[in-house]
Amino acid sequence: MAGPDNIIIGSHVWVEDPGLAWIDGEVIRINGNEIHVNTAHGKTVVTNISKAFPKDTEAPPGGVDDMTKLSYLHEPGVLQNLATRYELNEIYTYTGNILIAVNPFQRLPHLYDTHMMEQYKGATFGELSPHVFAVGDAAYRAMINEGKSNSILVSGESGAGKTETTKMLMRYLAFLGGRSGVEGRTVEQQVLESNPVLEAFGNAKTVRNNNSSRFGKFVEIQFDKNGRISGAAIRTYLLERSRVCQISDPERNYHCFYLLCAAPPEDIERYRLGSPKTFHYLNQSSCYELDGVNDAHEYLATRRAMDIVGINDEEQESIFRVVAAILHLGNINFAKGKEIDSSVVKDEKSRFHLNMTAELLRCDAQSLEDALIKRVMVTPEEIITRSLDPENAVASRDALAKTVYSRLFDWLVDKINVSIGQDPNSKSIIGVLDIYGFESFKCNSFEQFCINFTNEKLQQHFNQHVFKMEQEEYTKEEINWSYIEFVDNQDVLDLIEKKPGGIIALLDEACMFPKSTHETFAQKLYQTFKNNKRFIKPKLSRTDFTISHYAGEVTYQANQFLDKNKDYVVAEHQALLTASECSFVRSLFPPLPEESSKSSKFSSIGSRFKLQLQSLMETLSATEPHYIRCVKPNNVLKPAIFENFNVIQQLRCGGVLEAIRISCAGYPTRRTFYDFLNRFGLLAPDVLEGNYDDKVACQLVLDKKGLKGYQVGKTKIFLRAGQMAELDARRAEVLGNAARTIQRQIRTYIARKEFISLRGAAISLQSYLRGNMARKIYDELRREAGALNIQKNLRRHIDRKSYLTMRKSAILLQTGLRSMTARNEFRFRKQTKAAITIQAHWRCYQAYSYYKSLQKAVLVSQCGWRCRVARRELKKLKMAARETGALKAAKDKLEKRVEELTWRLQLEKRLRADHEEAKAQEIAKLQDALHEMQSEVEEAKSMVIKEREAARKAIEEAPPVVKETPVIVQDTEKINSLTSEVEKLKALLLAEKQTAKEAKQAHATEQAKNVDLTKKLDDAGKKVDQLQDSVQRLEEKLSNLESENQVLRQQALSMSPTGRALAARPKTTIFQRTPENGNVVNEEIKKALPNPQLTETEEKPQKSLNEKQQENQELLIKCISQDLGFSGGKPVAACLIYKCLLHWRSFEVERTSIFDRIIQTIGASIEVADNNDLLSYWLSNSSTLLLLLQRTLKASGAASLTPQRRRSTSASLFGRMSQGLRGSPQTAGFSFLNGRLLGGLDDLRQVEAKYPALLFKQQLTAFLEKIYGMIRDNLKKEISPVLASCIQAPRTSRASLGKGRSQANAVAQQALIAHWQSIVKTLNNYLKTMRANYVPSFLICKVFTQTFSFINVQLFNSLLLRRECCSFSNGEYVKAGLAELEQWCHDATEEFAGSAWDELKHIRQAVGFLVIHQKPKKTLKEITNDLCPVLSIQQLYRISTMYWDDKYGTHSVSSDVIASMRVKMTEDSNNAVSSSFLLDDDSSIPFSMDDISKSMQQIEVAEIDPPPLIRGHSGFSFLLQHTE
């Protein structure tokens, strides 16, 4: 892959390593053909330059999903890619169209659930991540499209996961063309249920595997012409017959022998068995048991499996009897007889086993003995019987054992096929081949020779297929490939199978000669093939030989080749078992034609093996092959362990490396023009600058570098082996030169930066010194200015101090003079105050006497008032006790409670009014008392003034000397009494203030109680409203139940004789309203109702009435079939239908055809599924009409059970009138005949609907859901093709790789967003259409919510399934598109968009995770809690492991976070948590009729004008009256 010129110092290469197979490193020295490599582990390795392979340093960190995309397609590159993907739990990888599956040894259920099957169904091969479903889908699509059968070849050693892969393939094929099998079991289940039986009889322990299949299994899944599974069959090939008689240590024989020896005691006794060590066919090896396997339990499990596949107890008994017979047969030994070349049974032990064999096979013991030791030769003259020597007798015994066992195995396969069921008319099949892989042990015998011969044949088929695929790729790209040499292994096949000189032919020839030995056979081989390059003779052995197979050299030991190849078809054995008394044994050996049963014929296992192999190859050649190579990553069968040597060996044995060798013979490296220019465009910058096409630019780059032998296809560049390494070497040289240029510029930049830094430091130092000098000069100037300031302030302080001393002395003199004047003034005022005090005491006495009288009156009034308040509080407590009663549960009790609450509300109002009135009276009384007290105080004041005047006059009139002393005494007493009275008045005033304060507090308390009572009244009113609403909802639900029951009763009646009898009754007479009787008053209607003339059913009037009604219906149907448009935002057709049906009383008749005709008209109108305008028109009409019916119709009899009560109208005239009309069945049909009354009662009254009306409502509901689903699905279909382009950003043109392409980039950016703008345009068109047709905003919101959910599911699932989408640039692209959708939601407003934006939460968070920087620094907690709280661990793990950055080269999250995610995923799988990482689209109807009723406003049908077609018709005059 890499020439010496391509590896230079600094190149990254792969070199061989004894521990890791291959290890990467960097070349540090080159000495001629030897290179010194510093490995990644720090060691230095010296190797030949021809043994080093270049490493792609720019390979994605997560590997590539198709190894043909590898820059270097060699062994270490393939191994590293598989190991990298396996570490990320990416177990599938393509190599072209070959799938490599690495066994994870753990459950990964998210890879195989139904969501994943849905994603791969119909997907182009290679579009999604590699998967076994992709191979199955490719086979199925090829079978359907081309009509040719396909086959899937699953190969690999035991433990590699072949059976599990086969199971997944059959599950997927059953999903694509599934048909349930017998008894509810699928074909896949029946095939898998047969595995335990086939494994028990066809699997054995080998040197490497404990459960190795020793036969090939080809499962045919049969399909009919429609692509549905019609049957299945299991074909088995190449059973290893020789293992029955001969095994090598430490291998085992087939499992069934050991299972039978571990059977329950009764079975062992029945078959006379014992330990496996006692049987010759088992004790040739020292291995009798398997680790971790209980043969006794496996025996019971095998018996149960036989029951499942349809093998009854009698057949099971016969099967194990035959197995026991084979064991006993192997213990029959022979000794020389009396005659020459004769033999007899050796001893009694052998005789016992002979008799047991005869007993178990139900044949004669003597006949069995004769068949083993004698032969009959038929000649034209006579029949000759001859004896066999002991050696030939043993060969005869072994031949019988092998024949019986192979016939038993074939019978089991046929029985399983009968149980599964085959389709003999099937034209197409998909076959799944599960066969043993290439084997190479220390000791390789005849079995390994046959197995490796089979794998050589399959490898030739595989090579031809790979070369064919290469040719198809080259032809598709239109390049010349005629000179490419096909790598073939035909020379090995000729060595083995060619006649007459092949190994098998020489082996058969040696077996036919009695005196041949393995030494003579080996010498014959040495002589025949001494010049064959594929045949090698070992130096130290005389019997071994080596064959150079495609997977490597294998040395075979020829010691037992002759014995294991002999397989006589003995006529005596056939005759013996055909005559058996056991029907089962006879069925194993049907009679042969007479001429073939007369003598024994030699038949070799090798020849038989070759014929069966030829049959298998013919079957495979008739089908289109698909290949799956299963790989076992380690021998300890544990997850997360990848053993390089083990995997490399399996890749060689599986032919994967051979396929790579075939690819390398042609053009192993293919690159699209874009990728090639993106990587190697820097080798010729002038080419990028030129305006060249990508194809021409690639060719110019290659020509400029002087490469020869490459090919330019239509879309790709094809490079020969080594050319990629040469280009990379030159690219590394260019990059190295560029790096040196960058380093030179960086060093210049650093030096200049240092110089500028030094210059800046010098300038800073100078600035500091100059500043220091300036600061010193400034300090001196500041000191001089400070001294001047100090002198000035000191002088000012001295002058101020002298001034303050003089001012203080002046103030002291002024203070003495002013205080003397003030004392004189004080003495005068003190005398005046004493006189005023005397006057005050007198006035106090007078007020106190008045207060005492007033206090008694206040106490009396307080007692009376408190009694009244107490009585009122008692009343309130009694009322509260009555209000706390429990509500009655039954409906009638609930209604009584409503009435009681209403009565209590009125009572509370009256009590409140009484309380307010009493409070007002009490306040008035208190105000009167206050006025009286004020008047009494005024009177007391006037009396005091009068008494003072009288006292003054008396003093003046009295003699001055004689009565001086008595007057003074009397005045003193009066002053004292007045003083005491004033004190009492003060106390009384304080008490009065306290009383007034208590009254205010009581008033505030009462006001608080009034507020509480008001709140209670409001709460009671709300409870009444809630109870009324609950009653109404219960009535509506009861009405719906009644309607459903009535529908069921009607259907039951229509099926029964009584129903037909009821149907034979006379029809209900419809009272047709006319303009003449349209204005009849209610009293006249009531009087006219019992009148026989109004209910007259004579033939003529009835006929004319029906004809008129039929004419009106025809006109209505004709009218609504047209586009009537909208009036005031209301659909005219819906309102017209409703008003006509209500007027004609169609809801209340037992039979009518009008409903069916309306439904048929709507159905005919929406037949064009893609006319969104028409669908929106009928969605608006059907929702409006359904809303009107929902609020109008109720089942018959529901009115008596659930009478309507409306609080807002029950007390009014119209409310009582409507209740009376509803309660009266006689007037129910005529209450709406008055035109003036109809418009007012449309929203109040309900009609007792009959069966046709209820059925019409159900049909209309179904049509509403259907129309909604059609609009939603049309929107999904319209945006679905665009979504495929929205998930992956289109690649920018090559022009963006050059310089100066800003204009081109702007055009590219505009093109990037075009797909998203197309979706926005589609959404706007649908929104505009639905709004133009006045579709309720509730339904519009639901349409867009489900559509955005669909967008979220499609984008998110595509992101998780396509690795190229999980990139940084793609995240930016999708984020920009989501911003367009967010802007649309904002422009559409919440009324119509609703929560649509929230439906995109998964893709929004996933894209947000893609475009964040520094992902390795994020912890798992930050990711799950902050960044992506909606995403599951499985989804986060998928995105994290698939992420790659094509823009900035950033990395995904750290390995610790990945490990934590794995632990959580393991815990979730152990806890049975769903581990599917895909989302499911919800296509259900997301609303109910109750939702529509709550969301839509009340419809006033009276405001709708009738259309012109019926405006002038007399039968529709009632429409005009309502309008007037």
Give the active site residues.
158-159, 163, 209, 212-213, 437, 439
Contact in structure between 238 and 413 (CB atoms under 8 Å): no
Long-range contacts of 1008-1015 (CB under 8 A, 24+ apart): 1010/912, 1010/915, 1013/908, 1013/912
Respond yes or no on whether the N-terminal peptide bond of residue 250 is cis (omega within 30° of 0): yes
The DSSP code sequence of 678-747 is HHHGGG-HHHHHS---HHHHHHHHHHHTT--S-EE-SSEEEE-TTHHHHHHHHHHHHHHHHHHHHHHHHH
The DSSP code sequence of 144-174 is HHH---EEEEEE--TTSSHHHHHHHHHHHHH
Is 816 annotated among the ligand-binding residues?
Answer: no
Query: Cα–chain-centroid distance for residue 1025?
Result: 44
Contact in structure between 1132 and 1124 (CB atoms under 8 Å): yes
Is 161 annotated among the ligand-binding residues?
Answer: yes
Which residues are 7's β-sheet partners?
A: none
Q: Are strands 98-102 and 624-631 parallel, antiparallel or unpaired?
A: parallel
Say how many C-beta atoms besides its own lie within 10 A of residue 1206's C-beta. Answer: 14
Rounded to whole angstroms, how far apart are CA atoms 742 and 734?
A: 12
Q: Are strands 544-549 and 552-557 parallel, antiparallel or unpaired?
A: antiparallel
Rounded to whole angstroms, how far apart are CA atoms 300 and 515?
A: 47
Rounded to whole angstroms, how far apart are CA atoms 1287 and 1377?
A: 9
Is 1058 annotated among the ligand-binding residues?
Answer: no
- Local structure of residue 600 (DSSP, 8 states): -
Rounded to whole angstroms, how far apart are CA atoms 13 and 233?
A: 50
Question: Helix, strand, coil % (nearest 5) of the chain?
Answer: 65, 10, 25
Rounded to whole angstroms, how far apart are CA atoms 670 and 650?
A: 26
Query: Cα–chain-centroid distance for residue 1118?
Result: 49
Residue type for position 1392: F
Rounded to whole angstroms, how far apart are CA atoms 432 and 1319?
A: 43
| Structure token pair of residue 1295 | 């022009």
The DSSP code sequence of 1175-1224 is HHHHHHHHHHHHHHHHHHEEETTHHHHS----HHHHTSHHHHHHHHHHH-
Is residue 1078 helix, strand or coil?
A: coil
- 3-state secondary structure string, 1432-1463? CHHHHHHHHHHCECCCCCCCCCCHHHHHHHHH
Is 338 annotated among the ligand-binding residues?
Answer: no
Is 157 annotated among the ligand-binding residues?
Answer: yes
Which residues are 375's β-sheet partners?
A: 386
For residue 727, which of 1, 1485, 1518, 1466 has the smallest C-alpha distance? 1
- Local structure of residue 186 (DSSP, 8 states): B
Say how many C-beta atoms besides its own lie within 10 A of residue 819's C-beta. Answer: 9
Is 63 annotated among the ligand-binding residues?
Answer: no
Is 156 annotated among the ligand-binding residues?
Answer: yes
- Alpha helices in 435-477, H assignment, sequence order: 446-476
For residue 1452, which of 1460, 1462, 1463, 1441 has the smallest C-alpha distance? 1441
Is residue 46 helix, strand or coil?
A: strand
Is 1176 annotated among the ligand-binding residues?
Answer: no
Say how many C-beta atoms besides its own lie within 10 A of residue 1515's C-beta. Answer: 20
**Known binding positions for ATP:** 156-163
Query: From the annotation, which residues make up the binding site?
Result: 156-163
